[in-house]
Amino acid sequence: MTTSTWFMRLARYRNEYLASLSATLCIFMVVCSNAWSSPALPKLLTEPNPPVSITAGAGSWIVSVQAIGGIFGMILAGLTVDRFGRKWPFIACALPVIAGWIMIALARTSVFLYFARVLFGISYGIAYGIVPIYIGEITSDGVRGAAASLITVMAKLAILFEYSVGPYVSFETLAWLSMIGPAVFLSTFVWMPESPHYLLGKGRIEEARQNLQWFRRNSAVEEELNCTRKSIERTVSERGSIRELFLPAYRNNLIIVLILAVGVQLSGMQAILSYAQTIFSQISSDLTDAEMSIVLGAVQMVTVLFPVFLVDRVGRRPLMLWSGAGSFLGLLLGAIYFTLDAADVDVARFGWVSFVGLLLFVVSYAFGLATIPFAILSEIFPKNIRAYANALFGILSGAIIFAVVKLFQVAQDNVGAYLPFWVFTVSTGFTFGFVFLYIPETKGRSLEEVQEIISGWRKKPNSKVVFEAD
């Protein structure tokens, strides 16, 4: 695509891109709250006269409790998105973030930090529950993939922001600066239209027509409106229940959901991002722990678009395998380094090896384990129960993230960093083996073909299928 063609495309779909960009500022807002712990915890644990005195154990609770809030946030998103629309629950999720940052900025006791992190988690769950729906419904087929990629771009930009600013400002100043997220999101998204898809479902046809005309920058939208209306009617008539998710026909599908949720989160990405600066402080390097965190954030930004360009060209299975292998190798280098360091072996000269290993892990995780499971989930379940499968995956992931992030600090303080890194390494190795043995390629196959493969009824060439139907 030439530069002139790209600009023409941007101009043609500019309202859709504008609304998507504004919506994903919410992702920037909530991920800032998630990444905050990396630069903030060292200020409370190691600097003299911190505004809030905490122990390392309390710090692990402050980091991990956000995952519990995230579970409630996802449930709230599911309960409100079809009742009150996409826009206003979306806007409302900024309020807990604002309250949380004010609590942190003014906190003189750890209780306020706990409350703030729970509020952050609620907003995090709501944001990730609604943003993909909103973008999917307002964008045209030709730009939907590019618009959806803004979700990941904004998430990595938020991490880079917290990692770059946090180490160089005070604890309180970091909280006030992080208010930039909700301020920019609210000042832009409040002017964006509601999803036409939601309005049609509520019978508000004229309002839906006007909003769709704004998004498409075209008054001729009757054909699309009719297609969307028929799709909504078909979805209502075919709506499933959560009980269908647990039918014997989907037993193997549920096993895949369970293993992917456990395997992906036990790779330790959330723990490494939450404690990045603390981890880097244990690595011998010419760079400071803050500088290594900034490099990590920058590398994430560079690799953010890999899955967008590769997933539909290479396929889901190869990307998951390459991602698993690269993540395993990167974590292995870190585990070996921390093991030798704990055994009093002089590893000062090889600190760069563990740092490169962690960067390899971040890069490898980004183009497979971070995104492909969601694509697989959307392709192994029928549309009428897909939302329940995604919700189950999200709740399982939230519970595991809580356990991993909480226990990471405990293990590091009482045993050493090598223990959680070996757990992450072994878990990632098992995930690689599971993908190799059990996950078929879903690209280019119909739902019926994928379902038959997973159920073990028949094998397709180049697929590894071990499940057998009873």
Separation between Cα atoms, residue 299 and residue 326, nearest integer Å? 15
Separation between Cα atoms, residue 254 and residue 418, nearest integer Å? 32
Cα–Cα distances (Å) from 107 to 53, 67, 99, 171, in that order, read 10, 21, 12, 10
Angle at 410 between CA 263 and CA 56, to 5 degrees: 130
Separation between Cα atoms, residue 55 and residue 93, nearest integer Å? 30
Q: Work out the pLDDT band at 31, boundaries 50, 70, 90.
A: very high
What per-residue confidence (pLDDT) applies to 465?
42
Separation between Cα atoms, residue 317 and residue 203, nearest integer Å? 41
Whether residues 369 and 256 share a domain: the answer is: yes
- Where b means 16+ CB within 10 Å and e means fewer, 365-378 reads bbbbbbbbbebbbe
Whether residues 178 and 272 share a domain: the answer is: no
- Close Cβ partners of 175 (under 8 Å, ≥ 6 residues apart): 36, 101, 102, 104, 105
Whether residues 255 and 351 share a domain: the answer is: yes
Q: Work out the pLDDT band at 161, boundaries 50, 70, 90.
A: very high
Whether residues 187 and 286 share a domain: the answer is: no
> With contact defined as beta carbons under 8 Å apart, do 285 and 346 qualify?
no
In a domain, 345, yes or no: yes
**Position with higher pLDDT, 314 vs 213:** 213
Whether residues 180 and 270 share a domain: the answer is: no
Count Cβ atoms within 10 A of the Cβ of residue 67 and give its class: 0-12 exposed, 13-18 middle, 19 or more buried: buried
Whether residues 250 and 166 share a domain: the answer is: no
In a domain, 233, yes or no: no
In a domain, 3, yes or no: no
In a domain, 332, yes or no: yes
Helix (H) or strand (E) holding 160: helix 144-165
If you average pLDDT over residues 110-125, what whole number do you get?
94
| DSSP 8-state code for residue 249 | G
Residue 225 neighbours by CB distance under 10 Å: 16
Residue-wise pLDDT for 207-233, tens only, equals 988 988 888 888 877 888 888 888 777
Whether residues 271 and 135 share a domain: the answer is: no
**CATH number of the domain enclosing 287:** 1.20.1250.20
**Position with higher pLDDT, 41 vs 233:** 41
Whether residues 171 and 317 share a domain: the answer is: no
Residue 469 has pLDDT above 60, yes or no: no
Residue 194 has pLDDT above 70, yes or no: yes
CA 432, chain centre distance (Å): 20
Residue-wise pLDDT for 315-355, tens only, equals 677 888 888 999 999 999 999 999 998 888 888 888 888 88
What per-residue confidence (pLDDT) applies to 69?
93
In a domain, 201, yes or no: no
In a domain, 198, yes or no: no
What per-residue confidence (pLDDT) applies to 5?
65
In a domain, 72, yes or no: yes
If you average pLDDT over residues 450-470, what whole number do you get?
49
- Among the ranges 74-88, 173-187, 344-358, which has the highest mean pLDDT value? 173-187
What per-residue confidence (pLDDT) applies to 290?
86
* Count of residues making up the chain: 470
Residue-wise pLDDT for 238-257, tens only, equals 666 777 778 777 777 788 87
What per-residue confidence (pLDDT) applies to 137?
83
What per-residue confidence (pLDDT) applies to 466?
42
Whether residues 117 and 261 share a domain: the answer is: no
3-state secondary structure of 103: helix
Last-in-domain residue among 192, 214, 231: 192
Last-in-domain residue among 192, 209, 234: 192
Q: Work out the pLDDT band at 121, boundaries 50, 70, 90.
A: very high
Query: Comparing 189-193, 274-278, 383-387, 445-449, which segment has the lowest mean pLDDT?
Result: 445-449
Residue 373 has pLDDT above 50, yes or no: yes
- Among the ranges 61-65, 218-222, 368-372, 453-457, which has the highest mean pLDDT value? 61-65
If you average pLDDT over residues 427-456, what whole number do you get?
74
- Close Cβ partners of 287 (under 8 Å, ≥ 6 residues apart): 295, 355
Separation between Cα atoms, residue 27 and residue 177, nearest integer Å? 16
Ramachandran sector of residue 85 (left: φ over 0; alpha: ψ -120 to 50; beta: rest): left
Residue-wise pLDDT for 265-311, tens only, equals 899 888 998 888 888 888 877 788 888 888 888 888 877 666 655 55
Whether residues 76 and 175 share a domain: the answer is: yes
In a domain, 354, yes or no: yes
- Close Cβ partners of 48 (under 8 Å, ≥ 6 residues apart): none
Last-in-domain residue among 192, 207, 233: 192
Separation between Cα atoms, residue 361 and residue 428, nearest integer Å? 10
Domain encompassing residue 368: 243-458
Cα–Cα distances (Å) from 171 to 106, 124, 404, in that order, read 10, 22, 25
Share in percent of the chain as helix, strand, coil (round to 5): 80, 0, 20
Number of domains the chain contains: 2
Kindly provide the residue ranges of all beta strands, DSSP E only, lying in 196-265, ordered along the sequence: none
Whether residues 131 and 272 share a domain: the answer is: no
- pTM to 2 decimal places: 0.83
Whether residues 247 and 369 share a domain: the answer is: yes
| DSSP 8-state code for residue 172 | H
